[in-house]
Amino acid sequence: MFKELLENVRRKKPLIHAITNYVTVNDCANLLLACGASPIMADEIEEAEEIASLCSGLCVNIGTLNQNTIPSMFAAGKKANALGRPAVLDPVGAGASNLRTQTARRLLEEVKFTVIRGNISEIKALATGTGTTRGVDADVADTVTDETLDGAVSFAKKLSEKTGAIIAITGPIDIAADHSRAYCVRNGHPMMSKVTGTGCQLSALTAAYVAANPDRPLEASAAALCAMGLCGEIAFARMEEKDGNASYRNYLIDAVCRLRGEALDKGAKYEIR
């Protein structure tokens, strides 16, 4: 079922506008190329709307946000809305600083996002306005496990209802939910948390999937979650004795580059609640 969604990305080659942090931007660009999309990074206010107009999708990532780039996030988001193009929000570090939490919340008020993708602490901070995000990582107390899954699913569905966005929460179990249905995804590998920006990469990937499948944002978000997680598993299986997180980072993007629809359908591990 996800096969077609993946193949639409490869066939349509959506151009994705990313306003994203400078820590992981290169990996996001190569990830977009790996999945079959094309990236353009542009965060200057004088060109933000024009670049957004060119593109099939937008990814706004607030890591390393600053006073120059924040207005561009709003301008690009509003332009994408006006043109009916999907937009993804990655609230990196929401809950870690007031600037991040409030910027993410203001973005939600003024821009309609198709998908919001973050870890559970970031998404909670977005929902409540306060948080205990540990830098850019989830607070351990928040982690979604089998014990807490029901509550997390319910939280995600309610937040989706409130915001109108698909809520994609990543962690040991991932969730992609609209107001009534939640994909609970059990792909992925703990090694992914040893590489900076695997979350940022997933947000970019999600933007590509929803841009290529604009009428099916929930399925596209779930497919992106499964694809990224599955590639995390494939990458881990490839590791050799001397490999560490740097080689793993390459293997992960390589796996996205190699992934085909049949393999995604075969490897995707999810249930719908």
CA distances to 146, 160, 185, 192, 236 from 115, rounded to whole Å, are: 24, 9, 16, 21, 28
The verdict on 242 binding a copy of itself (CB under 8 A) reads yes
The verdict on 136 binding a copy of itself (CB under 8 A) reads yes
The verdict on 189 binding a copy of itself (CB under 8 A) reads no
185 beta partners: 174, 270
- Mutual angle of helices 25-35 and 245-258, in 10-degree steps: 30
The verdict on 83 binding a copy of itself (CB under 8 A) reads no
Strands of 270-272's sheet in order across: 38-41, 15-19, 57-61, 87-90, 115-119, 166-170, 174-177, 182-185, 270-272
The verdict on 11 binding a copy of itself (CB under 8 A) reads no
The verdict on 39 binding a copy of itself (CB under 8 A) reads yes
60 beta partners: 19, 89
Instruction: State which residue, 55 or 89, has the beta carbon closest to a copy of itself.
Output: 55
H or E stretch at 168: strand 166-170
Quote the least distance from Cβ 219 to a copy of itself, whole Å.
25
The verdict on 150 binding a copy of itself (CB under 8 A) reads no
Tell me the per-residue interface mask from 42 to 71 with a copy of itself, x by CB under 8 A, - otherwise: xxx-xx--xx--xx-------xxxxxx---
Stretch that binds a copy of itself, among 23-31, 123-131, 161-169, 215-223 (CB under 8 A): 23-31
Alpha helices in 164-216 (DSSP H): 198-212
CA distance 206 to 89: 10
Instruction: State which residue, 143 or 186, has the beta carbon closest to a copy of itself.
Output: 143
Bridge-based pairing of strands 270-272 and 182-185 is antiparallel
Stretch that binds a copy of itself, among 130-138, 150-158, 182-190, 214-222 (CB under 8 A): 130-138
The verdict on 245 binding a copy of itself (CB under 8 A) reads yes
The verdict on 96 binding a copy of itself (CB under 8 A) reads yes
The rounded radius of gyration (Å) of the Cα atoms in the chain is 17
What is the binding site for a copy of itself (CB under 8 A)? 15, 21-27, 29-30, 33-34, 38-44, 46-47, 50-51, 54-55, 63-68, 93, 96-100, 134-137, 194-197, 238, 242-247, 249-258
